[in-house]
Amino acid sequence: MDSGLNATEQYSIVAASHSEVPARVLKHGDTFLVFDRFGDINAQSRGEQGLYHDDTRYLSFLELRIGSERPLLLSSEIARNNELCTVDFTNGDILIDGHVALPKSTLHVRRARFLWNGVCHERFLVTNYGLAPCEASIVLRFGADFADIFEVRGSARERRGETTTRVVDAESVHEYVGLDRRVRRLRVRCAPAPTRLQPSLVEYVLMLAPGEQRALSLSFACESERRPAPPRLAYQAAWDEARARPAVLASGARIESSSVPFNSWLNRSIADVEMLLTDTPRGAYPYAGVPWFSTVFGRDGLITALELLWVAPAVARGVLQCLADLQADAVDAASDAEPGKILHEMREGEMAALGEVPFGRYYGSVDATPLFVMLAGAYYRRTGDLDFIRGIWPNVERALVWMQKYGDVDGDGLIEYARRSPGGLVHQGWKDSHDSIRHADGAPAIGPMALCEVQGYAHAAWRGAATMAAALGQRTEAQQYLYAAERLARTFESLFWCEELNTYALALDGRKRPCRVRTSNVGHCLYAGIAKEDRAKLAAETLMGVDAFSGWGVRTVSALETWFNPMSYHNGSVWPHDNAIIAAGLSRYGRTDLALAILNGLLDATPFLELQRLPELFCGFERRHGEGPTLYPVACSPQAWAAGAVFMLLQAVLGLSVDATARTVSLSHPRLPESIAHLHIGHLSVGSASVDLVCTRHAHDVDVSVLRRKGDVRVLVVK
C-alpha cells in the first residue's frame, strides 16, 4: 500500500470541507451507529456516517422517504441515557399529476431506534391525522459498503473483497467476503412483511383510516465470525433486554448539585461513559471514542479509569484486568511489542487482519506501561483491594522490568521511545500526531524521545509499586522502587527545567537536548507529583498565563510558541481530559483556585455544545464574549476521557482524596463554582465503609458536612 504519506500521516483522519460534529451517535458493545438528525445515513455527504461492527462499516446508506419526498423533520432526540433515538416527522404536500394527493401535516411518523447485541432495531409508528382515508408509501433505501474503519478515515486500498446482495426467506442480505477470507454479512428483516422488498429497498404501502396508526419494524443485523447470526428478536423484546442492562456507574458514588448546567454536564458524562463501557471477555472496558476509536486503547482506558477512580473504582479494575491479559510477552518489531509492554490499540477489521495497518494488537505507546502501574497503585490506595493486586502483581512486575530494560535503553533512568515498526507511530505519547513534538524554532525533534509527562507517570509508577510491594511483604523490592523514583525525580529536575520559561521542557530529543516550549504536558507532571514544590508553583502560573489559558481551558501549546496553531490537533487546541489532569496537578500543589478556573471554563462551554457533551477537543481560539468554543472538525464525540473529565475536575477543586488503606476521606482547600451552592456526594465507598457528604459554598470557602457514616472512616478537611 502506497498512500503517498509518511508512516504517521498515513493514519491521520481526513477532514472534508463539510465535516462537523456528528449529529447523532448510538453504541452498544462492538457496534456503533453515526447518523444525521433525520436518522438517515449518507456516507457520501458525511464520510463517517454508518452502522459499524468490529471496525467495519456494514451500513453506509439509509434513507427514509414518504412517497418520493424526504419528510419534514419535527424533532430529533437522544434519550438522556444514550440508549434510544427518537425522530418525529410529518409529510410535505405530496403531488400526483400536479394535484395535492396528500396534504402536508397529514401523517405523523415517529421513528425510534436502538442498538442491541450487534443489531440496529427500528420502529416506525405511522398515524393518519387527516379527516379522510389516505394511502401512504413509506420507503427505506439502504446500502452496505463494508468499508474498513481505516478506509473511512482516509486510507487508500488497492484491492477489496467481493460484495453480493440478494433477497432470501423474506430478508435482504448483503454479504462481503474480504481479502482476509472472512465473511461479513448485513441481514435486513421486516415485520410485518413489506409490500415490496428488494436487496436495497423496503416499501410499505399503507391504507390508513382517519386516526389509524400502524407499527412497522425493521432490524439491521451485523454478522461476522466473532458474532454469527444474532437471535431473532422482536423490537419490544430486544428493547426490554437493552433496558435491563445493569449500569456500571450505578454502583459508585452519586453526585448531585444545586446547579442545573452542572447537573446536565454530569448526567451527560455519566451516560456517555456507560455507553462507551463495553463488556469484553476480560471485563468492562471504556472504549476510547466514536467514531474513530471505538475499541480498546490502553492509554485512553487507563486515563479514563484514573478520572473515574474516586467515583467508580470498578472501572479501573476492569481496565487493569483487561490490559494485564493483553500484556506483550515477546519482542515483535512489527507491532512495537516488547515483553511487559502494555497494549496501545487493538483492532478487528480487515485491514488489521491483513497487516495493511499494524494495529491488530499494537503496542506503540510509551506511556501506557507506566500508567498501568500508576493506576494499579492508585486503585490499591483507593480500594484496599490487595487480593486483586496480588492477582495482577506478576503483570505489574513485568511492566516494571519493561520500564528498566526496554523503556530506558541508555540506562539514564528516563523512559524514552523510538518506533521499531515501519508502519507504526513516530510519536508515542498522548500527543501522537506526526508534528506534535518540536523544538522552539519549529524543527522536528528526532528521537529516541523522552517526554516530560512520561517521566511523571514513571515516577508515580515507581512510588505506587513501592506501596504495593510493601503491602505484599516485599520490603526489599519496595525500597528499590522508591530509590528508582527518587533517582528519576533528580534526573528530571536537572534535565527538564527551563529557567527562562518558568516551566519544564516538553521533551528531550535523542541528543538529550530539551524542547524548550510551553505546553500543557507539564500539567501531567504536576498531577504525577514529580515536580519540586517551588518549581511546580512557577509552572502552575505558566500553565494558567493568558498565552496558555484560552478562557475555555489550557491550550496544548502556548500561543507564544512559533508553531502554535489553535486549529491543530495537538499544537494549540484544548482537550478536556488534558485540562482535567492539569487541574488535578494544580490541586495537588495546593492551587485549587486555578483548578476552579479550568472547571469554570469547561462548565461555561457545555451549554454551547451538542447535548452538553464535551468532545475530544475543540479549537484553542481565545474566548469571545457571548460565543461558544470553536469546534474541531473531526473530534470524537462522545469520547471516554472527555466524558470522564468532569469527575477529575470536581475532585480537583474539592482537593478530594480517598485512602481506603488508611480509612480516610480528605478534602484540602475545597472550592466550588459560584453556580453551585450545594453539592451532595452519596455512597462514597472507603473500603467496606462509606460516607455521604454535603459541600456548601460560602463567599471565601466551602464547608463540608457528613450526613451519613457507615463503618470505620474518617473525614478530614483542610481549609
Residue 101 is predicted with a pLDDT of: 81
Is beta strand 134-143 parallel, antiparallel or unpaired with respect to 61-66? Answer: antiparallel
pLDDT of residue 419: 87
Tell me the pLDDT tens digit for each residue of 384-406: 999 999 999 999 999 999 999 99
Report which of 55, 53, 31, 57 is spatially closest to residue 43, judged by C-alpha positions.
57
Q: Indicate the pLDDT class of residue 45, thresholds 50, 70 and 90.
A: low
Sequence-distant (≥ 6) Cβ neighbours of residue 81 within 8 angstroms: 271, 274
pLDDT beyond 90 at 11: no
pLDDT at 607: 95
Q: What is the pLDDT of residue 251?
A: 85
Which domains does the chain show, CATH number per domain?
9-243 (2.70.98.40), 249-619+641-668 (1.50.10.10)
Identity at 368, one-letter amino acid code = A
The confidence score (pLDDT) of residue 280 equals 86
Q: Does residue 62 contact residue 141 with C-beta atoms inside 8 Å? A: yes
State the average pLDDT over residues 701-717.
96
User: Is the CA virtual torsion 597, 696, 580, 263 positive or negative?
Assistant: negative
Which is more confidently placed, 174 or 8?
Answer: 174
- φ, ψ of residue 146 in degrees (nearest 5): 50, 40
**Mean pLDDT in residue range 421-443:** 92
Q: Are 468 and 376 in contact (CB under 8 A)?
A: yes
pLDDT band for position 245 (cuts 50, 70, 90): confident
pLDDT at 1: 26
Q: Which residue has the cell 515477546?
A: 330
Enclosing H/E stretch for 262: helix 260-276
Read off the pLDDT band of 36 (50, 70, 90).
very high
Question: To which H or E segment does residue 476 belong?
Answer: helix 475-496
Beta-strand relationship, 201-208 and 134-143: antiparallel
pLDDT band at residue 61 using 50, 70 and 90 as cut-offs: very high
- pLDDT class for 480, splitting at 50, 70, 90? very high
Each as own residue / partner, the long-range contacts of residues 193-198 (CB below 8 Å, 24 or more positions apart, any chain) are 197/167, 197/170, 197/172, 198/167, 198/172
Q: Residue 77 belongs to what H/E stretch?
A: strand 72-78
d(CA 162, CA 3): 22
More confident residue, 102 or 680: 680
Which CA distances in Å does 704 have to 252, 441, 567?
Answer: 20, 49, 41
Query: 3-class SS at 343?
Result: coil
In the prediction, which pLDDT does 3 show?
Answer: 30
Cα–Cα distances in angstroms (integers) from residue 443 to residues 286, 499, 511, 519, in the given order: 36, 21, 14, 16
Rounded percentage of the chain residues whose pLDDT exceeds 90: 86
Helix, strand, or coil (residue 232): coil
Cell of 471: 503491602
Per-residue pLDDT for 17 more than 60? no
Question: pLDDT-derived band of residue 422, with 50, 70 and 90 as boundaries?
Answer: confident
What 3-state class would DSSP assign to 191? strand
Region 65-84: mean pLDDT is: 92
Statement: residue 229 has pLDDT above 80: no
Q: Beta partners for 147?
A: 57
Give the pLDDT confidence score for residue 7 in this predicted structure: 39
In a 3-state reduction of DSSP, which class is residue 522? helix
Provide the pLDDT confidence category of residue 306 given band limits of 50, 70 and 90. Answer: very high
Task: Give pLDDT tens digits for 554-598.
Answer: 999 999 999 999 999 999 999 999 999 999 999 999 999 999 999
- C-alpha cell belonging to residue 446: 528526532
Q: Which pLDDT tens digit goes with each residue over 641-698?
A: 999 999 999 999 999 999 999 999 999 999 999 999 999 999 999 999 999 999 999 9
Contacts of 244 (CB under 8 A, 6+ apart): none
3-state secondary structure of 562: coil
Q: Which pLDDT belongs to residue 14?
A: 52
Please give the DSSP secondary-structure letter assigned to residue 44: T
Quote the CA–CA distance of 214 and 123 in Å, as a whole number.
10
Cell of 23: 449529529
pLDDT above 60 (res 21): no
Q: Do 36 and 87 form a contact (C-beta atoms < 8 A)?
A: no
Confidence bin at 262 (pLDDT 50/70/90): very high
Phi (first) and psi of residue 547, to 5 degrees: -75, -20
Handedness of CA 651, 652, 655, 661 (dihedral sign): positive
Q: What pLDDT was estimated at residue 226?
A: 80
- Residue pair 359/295 in contact by the 8 Å Cβ criterion: no
pLDDT per position as a tens digit, 590-610: 999 999 999 999 999 999 998
Tell me the CA distances in angstroms from 533 to 180, 498, 590, 597, 611, one per residue in order. Answer: 55, 15, 10, 21, 40
DSSP per residue, 168-188: ETTEEEEEEE-TTS-EEEEEE
> Which residue shows C-alpha cell 421513528?
111
Query: 492 and 416 in contact (C-beta within 8 Å)?
Result: no
Q: Copy the grid coordinates of residue 387.
A: 487480593
Q: Report CA torsion sign: 484, 487, 493, 495.
A: negative
CA distance 608 to 426: 35
Distance CA 235, CA 217 (A): 7
What's the pLDDT tens digit per position in 307-360? 999 999 999 999 999 999 999 999 999 999 999 999 999 999 999 999 999 899
Cβ count near 119 (within 10 Å): 24
Return the C-alpha cell found at 75: 424533532
As beta bridge partners, residue 136 has 206
Strand order in the sheet with 56-59: 24-28, 31-35, 50-53, 56-59, 147-148
Find the mean pLDDT for residues 221-236: 85
- Within 13 Å and on the Cβ side, how many CA atoms surround 568? 19
Under DSSP, the state recorded for 2 is -
With H, G, I as helix, E, B as strand and everything else as coil, classify residue 272: helix
Q: Which residue has the higher pLDDT, 10 or 658?
A: 658
Cβ(389)–Cβ(380) below 8 Å: yes
Note the pTM of the prediction, 2 decimals. Answer: 0.94
- How confident is the prediction for the chain on average, in pLDDT? 93
Measured CA to CA, the distance from residue 301 to residue 320 in angstroms comes to: 9
Q: Give the pLDDT mean for 140-168.
A: 94
